[in-house]
Amino acid sequence: MIPGSNKLYELQGFLTNMLYKLGSRVLKPVYEIYEKWLWMQIRRGPFPRHIGIIPDGNRRWAKRLGLDPSLGHVYGYEKIKEVLKWIWELKIRYVTIYTMSTENCRFRDEREREYLFNLARKGLAELKNMREIHDRKVRVKVFGALDLVPEDIAELASELEKETSRYDSFQLNIALCYGGRHEIIDAVKAIVKEALEGKISLDDINEELFSRYLYTNGAPDPDLIIRTSGEERISNFLLWQSAYSELYFCDVFWPEFRKIDFWRAIRSYQRRERRFGR
């Protein structure tokens, strides 16, 4: 790494963001008209109860602009905070954000893993002190293979969960070092353990009971899952819970995800007939 190159990347990011904002100002009148038109279409609902988000494309967005890929994660982190506000404005009670997969935690190079962990530290600390979390009564749950994260991050997550455990207006699930297969295996192990201890019988095991052993216990299955960047797969995200979720794939990279992109996803959801296999 060239000395001072981090500062150079930060300057590049700042200038890129300024150019983006300048372009946004030029197009602002058109954007505002389109936004109002979209709102007129979706405002009467129905809105999903639970949204899952796979915020993909941070590194590709940065590379496309000639920036250090790590800066993509910074802009992606800021976008998550913005999108959460849009979700809560629509009174959507549950949201699950796929922040890091088990593969991210195990196989990304050490430098990038540390960068992502630093963002996780910053994010959890901010959530603890974020006025909106407390004003809106948002319960926060952090789940995944937390044995893969540094101990201080796991402690921060535990503190945040305790501080918000009595809130019941909204729920924010943060999937950290998460994998759907790993979650299902954890659930199976817990059920087998209780069966061997005589706490449950074989006949007790059904879909409803199994769901209670998942990390998302207490939340409904996601009605809508949004993935950005143009990739059309769910990548080990909420495998059990997404059996009847509506999937929406958006071409834009996550850092450039706009309110109109979010509202388009809501509009798509509203236009679908949900039959749940019937």
If pLDDT is split at 50, 70 and 90, which confidence band does 211 have?
very high
Look at residue 81 and tell me whether its pLDDT is greater than 50: yes
Residue of higher predicted confidence among 202 and 26: 202
Q: Report the distance separating Cα 55 and Cα 262, nearest Å.
A: 12
41 within domain boundaries:
no
Residue 6 marked ligand-binding: no
Mean pLDDT to the nearest integer, 231-239: 97
Are 152 and 185 a contacting pair, CB within 8 Å? no
Q: Domain for residue 1, yes or no?
A: no
Q: Spot the catalytic one: 68, 104, 173, 221.
A: 104
Catalytic residue selected from 6, 17, 56, 204: 56
For residue 177, being part of any structural domain is answered with yes
Note whether residue 16 is domain-resident. Answer: no
150 cis-preceded (ω within 30 degrees of 0): no
Looking at residue 44, its pLDDT comes to 95
Residue 164 in marked binding region: no
Question: Residue 258 has which token pair?
Answer: 């706009």
Instruction: Enumerate the β-bridge partners of residue 121.
Output: none
Q: Is 59 annotated as a binding residue?
A: yes
For the record, the structure tokens of 274 come out as 């949900």
Q: Is 246 annotated as a binding residue?
A: yes
Question: 234 among the known binding-site residues?
Answer: yes
Question: What pLDDT band is residue 7 in, cutting at 50, 70 and 90?
Answer: low
Question: Has residue 115 got a pLDDT over 60?
Answer: yes
Q: What is the per-residue pLDDT for 111? A: 86
Burial of 253 (0-12, 13-18, 19+ CB in 10 A): buried
Residue 18 lies in a domain: no
Q: How many domains does the chain have?
A: 1
Which CATH number goes with the domain that contains 82?
Answer: 3.40.1180.10
Query: Is 27 a member of any domain?
Result: no
pLDDT band at 18 (very low <50, low <70, confident <90, very high): low
> What beta strand segments (E) does 82-124 contain?
94-98
Reply yes or no on whether the pLDDT at 3 is more than 50. Answer: no
73 marked among binding-site residues: yes
Q: Is 15 in contact with 21 (CB distance < 8 Å)?
A: no
Per the structure, the complete domain to which residue 92 belongs is given by 48-271
Q: What's the mean per-residue pLDDT of the chain? A: 91
22-36, 41-55, 186-200, 206-220: which has the minimum mean pLDDT? 22-36
State yes or no: pLDDT of 132 exceeds 60.
Answer: yes
Lowest mean pLDDT among 29-33, 39-43, 214-218, 243-247: 29-33
In this predicted structure, what is the pLDDT of residue 95?
Answer: 98
In this predicted structure, what is the pLDDT of residue 5?
Answer: 47
Check whether 208 is labelled as a binding-site residue: no
- The answer to whether position 265 is within a domain reads yes
Place of tokens 């759907």: 180
- Whether the predicted pLDDT of 6 surpasses 60: no
Q: Over 90: is that where the pLDDT of 116 sits?
A: yes
131 in a labelled binding site: no
Average pLDDT on 213-222 reads 97
Q: Per-residue confidence at 4, pLDDT binned at 50, 70, 90? A: very low
Does 172 map to a domain? yes
Average pLDDT score over residue span 251-267: 97
Q: Pick from 109, 172, 184, 95: which is nearest to 137 by CA?
A: 172
Percent over 90 (pLDDT), the chain: 79
Q: Would you call 104 a catalytic residue per the annotation?
A: yes
Position 22 scores a pLDDT of 57
Average pLDDT over residues 49-71: 94
206 is catalytic: no
Between helix 5-42 and helix 69-89 the angle, nearest 10°, is: 30
